[in-house]
Chains A and B, each alone.
Chain A
Amino acid sequence: MSATFVGMPAFPTAAREALADSQLRHNLAHATGTIRAKRAKVVEEVPDWEELRLAGAALKERALLDLDAQLVRLEETLTANGATVHWARDAAEANAIVATIAKQHAAEEVVKVKSMVTQEIGLNEALAEEGIAAWETDLAELIVQLGDDLPSHILVPAIHRNRAEIREIFLRKMAAAGRPAPADLTDEPAVLAAAAREHLREKFLRAKVGISGANFAVAETGTLVVVESEGNGRMCLTLPEVLVSVVGIEKVVAQWDDLGPMLRLLPRSSTGERMNPYTSMWSGISPGDGPQEVHVVLLDNGRTRALADEVGRQALRCIRCSACLNVCPVYERTGGHAYGSVYPGPIGAILNPLLRGVGHDDQIDSLPYASSLCGACFEVCPVRIDIPSVLVDQRAQVVDAHRAVSWRSVPKPEAAAMKGAAYVLGRSRRLSLVERLTGLGVGLARRFGLTAWTGARDLPEAPAESFRAWWERTDGGRDASGNDAVDPAGPDEDLRKGDL
């Protein structure tokens, strides 16, 4: 398995394959629809949700704009609490640090809490090369790992597998990894979960080294926070003698009180619960309680590159809640694998190019185009990352990068189109003006090509009436008499939430 998705085809090709998989589409539609509804319900309960989003965005932004000082502070407080702090410029350095610690303790295996960042750096594979088995302990990650598969969703990584497939995987693969699945295993979720409990418990009880990421790192107090559901996190953070946490440098928040708003925002946005079942917080070493050797690896791996991008740096506020995936019409239809990265969906479409740079890899360069710019992701984002604006800016950067290497300085048709989109989406008045001209634009596009664009998309007929005009005329469809003039989810969907 390659966690770095090496050799993934560019998004349009991968997406076309995913679209042809009807089981995948069914699972995805069910999952995203269910989580969407749960989220909406618990967000509605919070009267100050919009202020809370502002607070969340502001406190993350302030930490990022003061990141050097915050990181130095975090290092100081962690060290004072008895933790050992390591710094890693890239994946290879981080992996080497973790492997060295594991070897110092003669560990042949480690237990892991689900963590995006260790997938990003390919830690499991790196440890395997050193002869160390890394066991994923989150149920979904276990399914993915045993199935020799790739995660497809941040929150529910095995969302592309149904219960019958999971039973199959457990029966076939558990024995080789440890305690086998019971022979009478059924495909009831409760029975499958119980099999995972038994399988993993022996690993928790004997593990010497635990590995985690962190959802937040508090500079003021030297505290790391892990948010989870199943209790596998608590096991990994509590039972081993040694704990190593790999933490992206963007996870830092300045002060203890910042956890108040963040812990109100994250669970509601993520699993659609008022609070997730378990959150663990630890500040270095607690004598007589939990691991007595605690390491923290602060990882860059492209984050400073993203930080240098003034438009894109807001992506570093991301708290990986996955709300943007669940509302994304593109993600809902293609799933996570088509993005070719551990960070799928709208956030992946901006984060991967920001972390790794554009202009050298077609797969990455295709990601900023994996969107209809509908704006739903921005609306749900608990830290108000304006993903559509960053997407448009990234598209322009992709085009510039390609133009720089081409001997002809003729922009691709998308280049002109995207520069235009950035301008149009910037102001609602311009948007409504352009809507009236859409018929003209579509006609021109048909006439002059844009074949790469339309090859993977059906170029719609221009509607007789724009969405915004329809909305005004029918009061958002509440006026039943006028609601059949145009389908509101029709061709104008691309623009409908742009700047309303």
Chain B
Amino acid sequence: MTDARTEILARVREALAGSTVESAEAHPETGRASEVEPVETPPSHAPVVDLFAERVADYRAVVERCSAAELADRIAAALPEGPVVVPPGLGIDVPGAVVDDGTLTAADLDRIAAVVTAARVGIAETGTIVLDHGLDQGRRAISLVPDTHVCIVREDQIVPDVPDAVALLDPTHPLTWISGPSATSDIELDRVEGVHGPRTLHVLITPAE
């Protein structure tokens, strides 16, 4: 008996006999991805940052803009009562926070109220934050299990639209795209914030260093 791999690949080849990728190109209804005009990049970056702030807020996330000097105070104000975890390379002092050394279990994290992380990319058009889980963001579990996520996005990290973000991201890292707090509309389509992910998303936008 042939193995499943050999047989599936043979079936695929048989199914495609006579069709080539060129037949897709010849198809009048199809164009290459690269033919999509990039969404026009505004001449100044400020409108992109404004749009990002507006679109993140649309998801009922908390959005604040502040200077680098104000950051520590704003973080402190955003944190709820209870223990806080931070990634090993956050680069901002959060008094009293536990620095994740990779040994906290999921159950440990479940007893932690909040997490503070940086981000990799912000997407203005969709109000999305992307984490690539580098040292200033930490492994995936720490930004997932605690109920409040305070996320710092630098203005120079914000790009206009999704393809711009895809181009910047490195697929060898695990990536988490976050657009607002966890939500469901499964019950009569009523949007309810917060099922399993952090129920509070607090975004702090700061100018580039």
Question: Nearest Cβ in chain B — how far from A234, in angstroms?
Answer: 5
Q: A71-B9, A163-B188 are in contact. Are A278 and B176 (CB under 8 A)?
A: yes
Is A189's CB within 8 Å of the partner chain B?
yes
| CB-CB under 8 A for A68 and B21, given A34-B189, A51-B36, A231-B197 | no
CB interface residues, B 157-209, toward A, < 8 Å: 161-163, 166-167, 171-190, 192, 194-198
Q: Is the CB of A260 within 8 A of B33?
A: yes
Are A67 and B106 in contact, with the CB atoms below 8 A? no
Q: Which B residues touch A30, using CB under 8 A?
A: 188-189
| Interface hits, A130-170 → B, CB 8 Å | 137-140, 143, 156-158, 162-163, 166
Nearest Cβ on chain A to B85's Cβ, whole angstroms: 15
| Bound Cα distance A67, B9 (Å) | 9
- Select from chain B the residue with minimum beta-carbon distance to A42: B126
Q: Are A58 and B24 in contact (CB under 8 A)?
A: yes
Q: Counting CB contacts under 8 A, is A13 at the interface?
A: no
- Whole-angstrom CA separation of A221 from B179 in the bound complex: 24
Q: By the criterion CB–CB under 8 Å, are A58 and B33 in contact?
A: yes
Give the complex CA separation of A186 and B128 in angstroms: 33
Nearest neighbor of B147 in chain A, beta-carbon distance: A197
Docked pose: A282 CA to B174 CA in angstroms:
5
Beta-carbon contacts of B21-37 to A below 8 Å, as 1s and 0s?
A: 10111010111111111
B55 within 8 A of A: yes
Q: Shortest beta-carbon distance, A305 to chain B, in Å?
A: 8
Classify the interface of chain A: helix, strand, loop or mixed. Answer: helix
A139 to B173, CA, bound (A): 29
Does residue B107 face the partner (Cβ distance < 8 Å to A)? yes
| Interface-centre pick from A140, A157, A263 (highest chain B CB count, 10 A) | A263
Is A286 on the interface with B (CB-CB < 8 A)? yes
- Distance (Å) between the CB of A265 and the closest chain B CB? 10
Query: Which residue of chain A lies nearest to B189 when distances are taken between CB atoms in the complex?
Result: A34
Complex contacts, A387 vs chain B, CB 8 Å: none
Residues in B with CB closer than 8 Å to A290 are: 139-141, 174
Interface size on A, residues (CB 8 A): 97
Give chain B nearest CB distance to A400 CB in angstroms: 19
Name the distance in Å between B196's Cβ and chain A's nearest Cβ: 4
Whether B24 pairs with A61 at a CB distance below 8 angstroms is: yes
Q: Which positions 1-25 of chain B face chain A at CB distance < 8 Å?
A: 3-5, 7-9, 11-16, 19-21, 23-25
* In the assembled complex, A318 has its CB within 8 A of some CB on chain B: no
Query: CB-nearest residue of chain B relative to A61?
Result: B24
Q: In the complex, what distance in Å separates the CA atom of A31 from the CA atom of B12? A: 38
Please tell me if the beta carbons of B177 and A275 are within 8 angstroms of each other in the complex: yes
B113 to chain A, nearest CB (A): 15
In the complex, the answer to whether B106 meets A257 with C-beta atoms within 8 Å is no
Asked if A283 and B31 make an inter-chain contact with CB atoms under 8 angstroms apart, the answer reads no
Partner of B35, one of A51, A65, A93, A310: A51
Q: Is the CB of B196 within 8 A of A232?
A: yes
Q: Identify 29 residue pairs between A and B in the complex whose beta-carbon atoms are under 8 Å apart, listed by A's number.
A: A47-B39, A54-B31, A59-B33, A62-B21, A62-B25, A62-B30, A65-B20, A89-B7, A156-B185, A156-B186, A189-B187, A189-B190, A190-B192, A200-B196, A229-B183, A230-B182, A230-B196, A231-B182, A235-B196, A263-B177, A271-B185, A277-B182, A278-B179, A280-B174, A280-B175, A286-B174, A289-B141, A300-B11, A307-B12
Interface contacts beyond A52-B36, A231-B144, A283-B172: sample of 4 additional A-B pairs, CB < 8 Å, sorted by A:
A87-B8, A156-B186, A192-B187, A261-B36
